[in-house]
């Protein structure tokens, strides 16, 4: 039986001048309302008072009636209300200790977007028309929506490169759980190779950012030479942003293909719980780690596994997968990062990454049986904790 999941379908579109002006105005109003509500809630927080979504919604009504903020009435009210709901969600995550305190949206750095619910758009015959607009959006339908699906929410955005996107959230009845299989795989991430599987397969790291590094550097130098605030500087900035966008698109496309293949081929996928946020504090490796996009890989793997009835097992980050012999179980002492192959006391020669993937697989299967995390308390002969040295070698 098909599993109905919420799925977003993203398309590019080409707005008219009038539509672009209306959407840009809406983006600005959304940002303004979000910042005003955040300031009000922050002031109340300092007074040890709590402001709810309903109270900020009432504030919005008052703001629209003032002379200074009367322009808020010129755009659709739905994206403004959605901005308040997003702020409420940000505070809920903060109180639940899932995120930091919400931050103010910057005109230059924040994503320009607006969310419309079903009351603020019409979708008929493949034509999408938003509130306050005279005509439908000129969407490039790169793929069809699932048959019979109607968008429940629509998010319009503009990236730093000036490209316009519309994302439609729909119920997708076409996602079906895959046939069960006995295959299981351990996955070790790295920089020399993006992934190393317990089967011995190594997947090359495409290094998307490094391929365009020289071109990006030239574009950024050109932008830096332009006068601030000039039209030429804006054109140079757009050129630099387009290079960044191309890198991001290639990276995301490669990760989608890779994660889909792994989920289709394996019933159980075992990965390691890495703290990428802390690892990128190593400034020699931050660029390479960010380019590898380990967090995005894990996110894709987890939601696709949920879609298709697969299991993702996450092993504790302190499990010493690199230093543990997958043949006899002997725990080695110190193992510098430049050591890529090593020989155990049992005379087994190990490839560091393949051995780590095999140990992750064994630990993950043990987790599925025991239902507990893997975090050994053993100590090395030198008295140090037997933690895995996960920070990779310096990128050449």
User: pLDDT grade, residue 331 (50/70/90)?
Assistant: confident
User: pLDDT grade, residue 317 (50/70/90)?
Assistant: confident
HSE of 25, CA atoms in CB hemisphere, 13 A: 15
Residue 240 has pLDDT above 60, yes or no: yes
Q: DSSP assignment, residue 115?
A: E
More confident call, 362 vs 16: 16
Residue 55 and residue 62 in contact, taking contact as beta carbons nearer than 8 Å: no
Residue 385 has pLDDT above 50, yes or no: no
Q: Which domains are assigned to the chain?
A: 3-170 (no CATH), 182-203+254-368 (3.30.420)
pLDDT tens, 65-96? Answer: 999 999 999 999 999 999 999 999 999 999 99
HSE of 62, CA atoms in CB hemisphere, 13 A: 8
- CA distance linking residue 166 with residue 155, whole number of Å: 6
Alpha-carbon dihedral angle through residues 244, 248, 249, 253, given to the nearest 10 degrees: 160
- Rounded to the nearest 5 degrees, what angle is found at the Cα of 262, between the Cα atoms of 176 and 146? 30
Rounded to the nearest angstrom, the gap between the alpha carbon of residue 213 and the centroid of all alpha carbons in its chain is 22
Residue 239 has pLDDT above 50, yes or no: yes
Give me the pLDDT at residue 390, please. 41
Give me the pLDDT at residue 3, please. 55
Residue 163 is encoded by which pair of tokens? 């490209």
Q: Which residue has the tokens 């008219």?
A: 16
DSSP 124-178: ETTEEEETT-SS---EE-SSPPPTT---SEEEEEE-TTS-EEEEEEEEETT--PP
The order of strands in the sheet holding 139-140 is: 112-117, 153-158, 164-172, 5-13, 139-140
pLDDT tens, 33-55? Answer: 999 999 999 999 899 888 999 99
User: pLDDT grade, residue 389 (50/70/90)?
Assistant: very low
Residue 281 has pLDDT above 90, yes or no: no
pLDDT tens, 171-204? Answer: 888 888 899 988 999 999 988 899 999 898 999 9
Backbone angles phi, psi at 248, to 5 degrees: -65, -40
Residue 336 has pLDDT above 90, yes or no: no
Residue 373 has pLDDT above 50, yes or no: no
Give me the pLDDT at residue 305, please. 93
Cα 317 to Cα 276, 284, 298, 326, distances in angstroms: 11, 21, 14, 17
Rounded to the nearest angstrom, the gap between the alpha carbon of residue 227 and the centroid of all alpha carbons in its chain is 34
pTM listed for this prediction = 0.83
Residue 171 is encoded by which pair of tokens? 């119920």
At 355 the three-state DSSP class reads helix
Mean pLDDT for the stretch of residues 145-157: 91
Catalytic residues: 188, 272, 353
- Rounded to the nearest 5 degrees, what angle is found at the Cα of 254, between the Cα atoms of 249 and 259? 125
User: pLDDT grade, residue 370 (50/70/90)?
Assistant: low
Residue 228 and residue 248 in contact, taking contact as beta carbons nearer than 8 Å: no
Residue 125 has pLDDT above 70, yes or no: yes
User: pLDDT grade, residue 161 (50/70/90)?
Assistant: very high
Give me the pLDDT at residue 76, please. 95
Residue 190 and residue 274 in contact, taking contact as beta carbons nearer than 8 Å: no
Determine how many CB atoms are found less than 10 A away from the CB of residue 299.
13
User: pLDDT grade, residue 159 (50/70/90)?
Assistant: very high
Backbone angles phi, psi at 127, to 5 degrees: -120, 125
HSE of 69, CA atoms in CB hemisphere, 13 A: 17
Give me the pLDDT at residue 380, please. 36
More confident call, 258 vs 354: 258
CA quadruple 369, 370, 374, 380: dihedral sign: negative
Residue 231 is encoded by which pair of tokens? 């039209």
Residue 30 and residue 113 in contact, taking contact as beta carbons nearer than 8 Å: yes
Give me the pLDDT at residue 349, please. 77
Looking only at the bridges linking them, the beta strands covering 268-272 and 184-189 are parallel
Facing residues of 204 across strands? 193
119-123, 272-276, 367-371: least confidently modelled range: 367-371
Residue 394 has pLDDT above 80, yes or no: no
Residue 382 has pLDDT above 60, yes or no: no
Mark out the alpha helices in the chain (DSSP H runs). Answer: 17-46, 53-65, 77-95, 208-211, 213-225, 231-265, 276-279, 286-292, 294-307, 352-370
Give me the pLDDT at residue 391, please. 40
Give me the pLDDT at residue 185, please. 93
Give me the pLDDT at residue 386, please. 35
């Amino acid at each position: 039986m098909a599993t109905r999941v919420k799925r977003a379908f993203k398309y590019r579109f080409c707005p008219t001048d009038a539509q672009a002006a209306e959407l840009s105005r809406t983006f600005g109003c959304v940002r303004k309302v979000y910042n005003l509500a955040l300031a009000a809630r922050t002031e109340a927080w300092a007074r040890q008072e709590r402001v709810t979504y309903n109270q900020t919604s009432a504030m919005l009504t008052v703001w629209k009636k003032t002379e200074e903020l009367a322009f808020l009435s010129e755009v659709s009210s739905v994206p403004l209300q959605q901005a308040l709901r997003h702020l409420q969600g940000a505070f809920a995550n903060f109180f639940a200790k899932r995120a930091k305190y919400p931050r103010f949206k910057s005109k230059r750095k924040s994503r320009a977007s607006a969310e419309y619910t079903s009351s603020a758009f019409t979708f008929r015959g493949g034509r999408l028309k938003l509130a306050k607009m005279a005509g439908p959006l000129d969407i490039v339908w790169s793929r069809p929506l699932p048959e019979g699906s109607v968008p429940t929410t629509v998010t319009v955005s503009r990236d730093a490169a000036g490209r316009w996107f519309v994302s439609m959230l729909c119920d997708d009845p076409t996602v079906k759980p895959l046939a069960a299989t006995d295959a299981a795989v351990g996955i070790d991430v790295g920089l020399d190779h993006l992934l190393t599987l317990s089967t011995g397969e190594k997947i090359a790291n495409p290094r998307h950012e490094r391929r365009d590094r020289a071109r990006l550097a030239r574009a950024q130098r050109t932008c830096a030479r332009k006068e601030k605030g000039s039209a030429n500087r804006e054109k140079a900035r757009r050129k630099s942003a387009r290079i960044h966008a191309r890198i991001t698109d290639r990276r995301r496309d490669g990760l989608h293909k890779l994660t889909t293949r792994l989920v289709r081929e394996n019933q159980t996928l075992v990965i390691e719980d890495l703290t990428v946020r802390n690892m990128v504090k190593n400034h020699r490796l931050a660029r390479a780690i960010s380019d590898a996009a380990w967090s995005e890989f894990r996110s894709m793997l987890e939601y696709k596994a949920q879609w298709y009835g697969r299991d993702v097992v996450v092993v504790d980050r302190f499990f010493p997968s690199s230093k543990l012999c997958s043949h006899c179980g002997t725990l080695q002492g110190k193992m510098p990062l430049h050591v890529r192959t090593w020989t155990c006391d049992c005379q087994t020669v190990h490839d560091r990454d393949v051995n780590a993937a095999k140990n992750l697989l064994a630990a993950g299967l043990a987790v599925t049986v025991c239902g507990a995390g893997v975090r050994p308390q053993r100590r090395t002969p030198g008295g140090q904790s037997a933690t895995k040295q996960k920070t990779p070698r310096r990128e050449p």
